[in-house]
Amino acid sequence: MRTSVVIVQLVWAALCLAKNTFPALIASSKLIPGLRPALPHSEQLPFDLGEATSTIYRVLEQCTSDAYILINLPGLRVDDFHHFERFRHLREQLSQASTVVTFPNVLVDDEKLAMDDFVRFLRIHCNTLTYDVVKEDAAEVPKYLDTRTRTINVQLGGLSDEMSKTERLEKLDEYNELLREIMRKLPTPRYTILFSTNTTTPYEEKEYKVIYPEDVPEDPKDLTVRDRCLAKTASNMIFPDITVFDKTRYLEIERNKHGERDDYSSHPDGLWAKDLLEEDDTWLAKKTKTIKKEKSLYRFSEDQSESPAVFDREFLIDNGPVIVGGLFVVVTLFALDILRGIARQVAGLIRGKKLKRE
């Protein structure tokens, strides 16, 4: 372990021959398996441009998000991230993300992070629809009318060295609010955020104290006030309370899997989900439904297990007038028919006697 640390520090010393640096970070709501173990070294050590770019591509190529927000903030420095309160919404998204990788120092000569290449890659590889935000207005992102994945390319006005500290912090507040308004338009919480800059600052070589997982206390509250202040203002960390002193960040944990089903490919040998159950065949049984209610609520012949409703005492009592009236009508019609027949027979006999007399 210590040998590898020495090798990394030697490589880092060689990288420090570069003159400039810039910060960046990328976060995804979904877990990118194997990403953190594949990092060449601790995030607290400087990255070269190739290492940072390949890590970013590793996140983007998964196409696991419904929205990709790429933010370019000219003039951004790593010490801007020391003002936690100016990145409230960004920090909220990072704390909820399953994948977070920070690059406090990306060492370059005159190169820049190729944001346009990332936009093009997402359009081709993930079939995204691109929206450009160039006027710092959330209205440049229209409302969603379909489910197609979006790339939201945000080009901010930037920060300048001529700004006072108050003006600089007020700008960061405005950009934080812009990010919040843009993310409110997203139809799902599945997102990827890339936050970086296309400007650099001179790199100051320092001896960094790298904090490894075994150095992190079980409870971050055990850190002294001095250690917290040093970590917060360190130039080799971005939001250390989220990225360094949260021990769960060193584990591969999917934090946003609520209500989602496993992919078919995740089942052993392509088995169906039902085959993973422990001898549960209840899904094969014929489903029956029995309705229990008062007898008075049954409709005519609804309950076939009972005797016909005509012979039911309660039915006869409740419907007695109707039944008696019906029987009276039937008997009356039958009697009238008999009387009509008798009358025809009598009329026939009388007519026959008259004919005999004539």
pLDDT tens track for 106-163: 999 988 999 999 999 999 999 999 999 999 999 999 988 888 999 999 999 999 989 9
Residue 348 has pLDDT above 50, yes or no: yes
| Domain assignment of residue 93, yes or no | yes
Task: Tell me the residue type at 132.
Answer: D
| Domain assignment of residue 265, yes or no | no
Q: Are residue 314 and residue 207 in the same domain, yes or no? A: no
Instruction: Quote the pLDDT of residue 228.
Output: 87
Instruction: Quote the pLDDT of residue 17.
Output: 59
Q: Are residue 118 and residue 220 in the same domain, yes or no? A: yes
Q: Are residue 351 and residue 208 in the same domain, yes or no? A: no
CB-count exposure of residue 111 (10 Å: 0-12, 13-18, 19+) = middle
Which residue, chain included where needed, has tokens 């977070």?
100
d(CA 207, CA 204): 10
Q: Which of 131, 130, 113, 140 is nearest to 22 (CA)?
A: 113
- For the beta carbon of residue 5, count every other beta carbon within 10 angstroms: 14
Which residue, chain included where needed, has tokens 């009388």?
350
Distance, C-alpha 169 to centroid of its chain: 31
d(CA 20, CA 201): 5
Instruction: Quote the pLDDT of residue 116.
Output: 95
Residue 2 has pLDDT above 50, yes or no: no
Q: Are residue 144 and residue 220 in the same domain, yes or no? A: yes
pLDDT in tens, 29-47: 999 999 998 999 999 999 9
Q: Are residue 240 and residue 313 in the same domain, yes or no? A: no
- For the beta carbon of residue 238, count every other beta carbon within 10 angstroms: 27
Instruction: Quote the pLDDT of residue 3.
Output: 47
Q: In sequence order, what E strands does 134-271 have?
A: 150-155, 191-196, 201-202
Instruction: Quote the pLDDT of residue 220.
Output: 77
Percentage of the chain exceeding pLDDT 70: 80
| Domain assignment of residue 178, yes or no | yes
Task: Tell me the residue type at 308.
Answer: P
| Domain assignment of residue 297, yes or no | no
Q: Which residue has the higher pLDDT, 223 or 79?
A: 79
Question: How confident is residue 316, by pLDDT bands cut at 50, 70 and 90?
Answer: confident
Helix (H, G, I), strand (E, B) or coil at 213: helix
Would you say 60 and 126 are in contact if contact means Cβ atoms under 8 Å apart? yes
Which residue, chain included where needed, has tokens 């919480």?
189
Helix (H, G, I), strand (E, B) or coil at 249: helix
The domain total for the chain is 2
Distances (CA, A) of 115 to 47, 69, 83, 118, 120: 17, 11, 25, 5, 9
Instruction: Quote the pLDDT of residue 6.
Output: 47
| Domain assignment of residue 273, yes or no | no
d(CA 251, CA 69): 25
Alpha-helical segments (H) within 21-64: 49-60
d(CA 132, CA 120): 13
Domain boundary among 217, 232, 257: 257
Residue 311 has pLDDT above 50, yes or no: yes
Q: Are residue 322 and residue 205 in the same domain, yes or no? A: no
Angle, alpha carbons 5-11-15 (nearest 5°): 135
Task: Tell me the residue type at 18.
Answer: A
Domain boundary among 237, 257, 277: 257
Domain boundary among 231, 257, 283: 257
Question: How confident is residue 279, by pLDDT bands cut at 50, 70 and 90?
Answer: low
Q: Which residue has the higher pLDDT, 108 or 313?
A: 108
Distance, C-alpha 115 to centroid of its chain: 25
pLDDT in tens, 233-276: 999 999 999 999 998 999 888 998 875 655 555 555 555 555 55
Distances (CA, A) of 201 to 160, 208, 220, 238: 12, 18, 32, 16
Instruction: Quote the pLDDT of residue 107.
Output: 95
Which residue, chain included where needed, has tokens 């009592």?
317
| Domain assignment of residue 272, yes or no | no
| Domain assignment of residue 263, yes or no | no
Q: Are residue 207 and residue 315 in the same domain, yes or no? A: no
Residue 96 has pLDDT above 60, yes or no: yes
Q: Are residue 202 and residue 322 in the same domain, yes or no? A: no
Q: Are residue 119 and residue 233 in the same domain, yes or no? A: yes
- Contacts of residue 188, defined as CB under 8 A and 6 or more positions apart, other chains included, come to 66, 67
Question: How confident is residue 281, by pLDDT bands cut at 50, 70 and 90?
Answer: low
Would you say 101 and 231 are in contact if contact means Cβ atoms under 8 Å apart? no
Q: Are residue 225 and residue 322 in the same domain, yes or no? A: no
Residue 190 has pLDDT above 50, yes or no: yes
Q: Are residue 214 and residue 127 in the same domain, yes or no? A: yes
Q: Are residue 166 and residue 247 in the same domain, yes or no? A: yes
| Domain assignment of residue 301, yes or no | no
Domain housing 336: 309-357
- Average confidence score pLDDT of the chain: 84
